[in-house]
């Protein structure tokens, strides 16, 4: 059921097809994040219109509300979200890790999680209720959610954590992987793929040990965790190259939590196939969009998918604050190229969007979200074409910040 076929390769970058029960996707690909079972403000049809192939949903949030049993009654996440394409669920480990210590009601401060060999005991950020996520429980929840791809339960730490903390989390992640695999095999493994997660942060001896351990399980896919969490970019890329050199070539490689425009090109050039991030929708909620600026020819080539022309041009990736006063009288469309956004959302002017954001009109956030997601999808489409042409390095040279 789960097949990964490499169609083209340029250096370490590759174009491949990954087959799942809900369809075949082409990598490299970016996956938008639907934290609560929806990418904020946009519909599944709109996501597919701008190029989305797979959506990620958060196990932690769906478990707390509305609960995996209710989701299962609606036909799993595919029925719940009305999304008839592949869905990936994380394990909940990162969300529980990120709780740390937070105030539940804005006044009281209390520890919200505790790690033990059994799992992670945590207090809900919603109401303070106590819960335990063990490897078995995480997989059971994901099995009920019905995602095509599930993640093994892991203990992430910051990428630049000291060696002792990184080693402790890595070793526990390995033990939890064994338990996750056992629970996965107790279900219908032909319908849900399980990916293991490499830990160890930027420490070479640790993440290489972890990559070897994860690979030995021969799972349908493998993921890179514990990076893009505080370490420097140079350290992150050294670790990425080190890890991908040990992960099987015949399995998809997934960099968790990566979603800056140029980062996904850098990751692809190091052998990564899949990535996700909340950045496109989070930026949109704060009124920001990624704009690709250059000559008219370069911008047109980017949005129309003309990779061969784009390779002769240059584009700057900028983050625009659409609340900026300089845009309030700018009647030019945010995006002049037709066929990128859904037809009914084409042509809105910058001044209109600036007004919507100042008035907190939801339509503004919706358009910006789709625009940001479309940017990342267009980049992945150009990467696929460039890899086939043997010019992924030339494509990377097109873009600057």
**Annotated active-site positions, please?**
90, 276
Say if CB 170 and CB 210 are below 8 A apart.
yes
199 three-state secondary structure: coil
Place of tokens 């080539």: 301
Question: Rounded distance, CA 386 to CA 393, Å?
Answer: 8
Place of tokens 């095509």: 148
Which residues are CB-contacts of 240 (< 8 A; sequence separation ≥ 6)? 224, 227, 255, 267, 270, 272
Question: Rounded distance, CA 64 to CA 140, Å?
Answer: 14
Please count the other Cβ atoms lying within 10 Å of the Cβ belonging to residue 345.
19
Which helix (H) or strand (E) element contains residue 61?
helix 59-64
Alpha carbon distances (Å) from 335 to 269, 300, 346, 363, 379: 29, 10, 7, 16, 16
Say if CB 367 and CB 40 are below 8 A apart.
no
Crossing angle between the packed helical segments 362-389 and 296-304, to the nearest 10 degrees: 90
Question: Rounded distance, CA 175 to CA 355, Å?
Answer: 53
Say if CB 212 and CB 244 are below 8 A apart.
no
Task: Write out the two tokens for 353.
Answer: 């969007």
- Sheet of 3-10: strand order equals 3-10, 13-20, 23-27
58 three-state secondary structure: coil
Question: Rounded distance, CA 160 to CA 238, Å?
Answer: 13
Q: Helical H runs in 146-295?
A: 163-185, 204-216, 233-244, 261-269, 279-285
Beta bridge partners of 133: 120
Q: Helical H runs in 292-391?
A: 296-304, 307-310, 350-358, 362-389
């Amino acid at each position: 059921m789960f097949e990964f076929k490499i169609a083209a390769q340029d250096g370490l970058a590759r174009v491949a097809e990954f087959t799942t029960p809900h369809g075949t996707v082409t990598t490299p690909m970016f996956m938008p994040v639907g934290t609560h079972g929806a990418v904020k403000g946009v519909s599944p049809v709109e996501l597919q219109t701008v190029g989305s192939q797979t959506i990620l949903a958060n196990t932690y949030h769906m478990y707390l509300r509305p609960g995996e049993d209710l989701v299962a009654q609606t036909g799993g996440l595919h029925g719940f979200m009305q999304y008839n394409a592949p869905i990936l669920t994380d394990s909940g480990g990162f969300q529980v890790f990120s709780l740390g210590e937070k105030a539940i009601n804005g006044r009281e401060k209390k520890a919200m999680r505790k790690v033990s060999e059994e799992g992670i005991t945590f207090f809900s950020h919603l109401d303070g209720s106590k819960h335990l996520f063990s490897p078995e429980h995480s997989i059971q929840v994901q099995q009920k959610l019905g995602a095509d791809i599930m993640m093994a339960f892991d203990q992430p730490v910051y990428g630049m954590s000291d060696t002792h903390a990184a080693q402790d989390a890595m070793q526990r992640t390995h033990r939890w992987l064994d338990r996750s695999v056992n629970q996965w095999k107790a279900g219908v493994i032909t319908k849900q793929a399980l990916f293991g997660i490499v830990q160890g942060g930027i420490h070479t001896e640790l993440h290489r040990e972890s990559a070897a351990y994860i690979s030995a399980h021969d799972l349908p896919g493998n993921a890179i965790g514990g990076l893009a969490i505080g370490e420097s970019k140079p350290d992150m890329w050294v670790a990425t190259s080190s890890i991908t050199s040990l992960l099987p070539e015949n399995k998809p490689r997934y960099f968790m939590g990566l979603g800056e425009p140029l980062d996904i090109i850098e990751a692809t050039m190091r052998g990564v196939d899949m990535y996700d991030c909340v950045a496109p929708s989070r930026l949109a909620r704060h009124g920001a969009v990624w704009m690709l600026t250059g000559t008219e020819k370069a911008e047109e080539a980017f949005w129309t998918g003309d990779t061969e022309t784009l390779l002769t041009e240059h584009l700057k990736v900028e983050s625009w604050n659409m609340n900026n006063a300089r845009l309030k009288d700018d009647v030019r469309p945010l995006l002049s190229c037709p066929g990128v956004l859904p037809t009914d959302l084409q042509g809105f002017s910058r001044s209109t969007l600036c007004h919507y954001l100042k008035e907190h009109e939801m339509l503004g956030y919706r358009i910006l979200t789709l625009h940001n997601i479309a940017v990342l999808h267009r980049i992945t489409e150009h990467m696929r074409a460039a890899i086939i042409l043997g010019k992924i390095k030339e494509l990377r040279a097109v873009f600057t910040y």
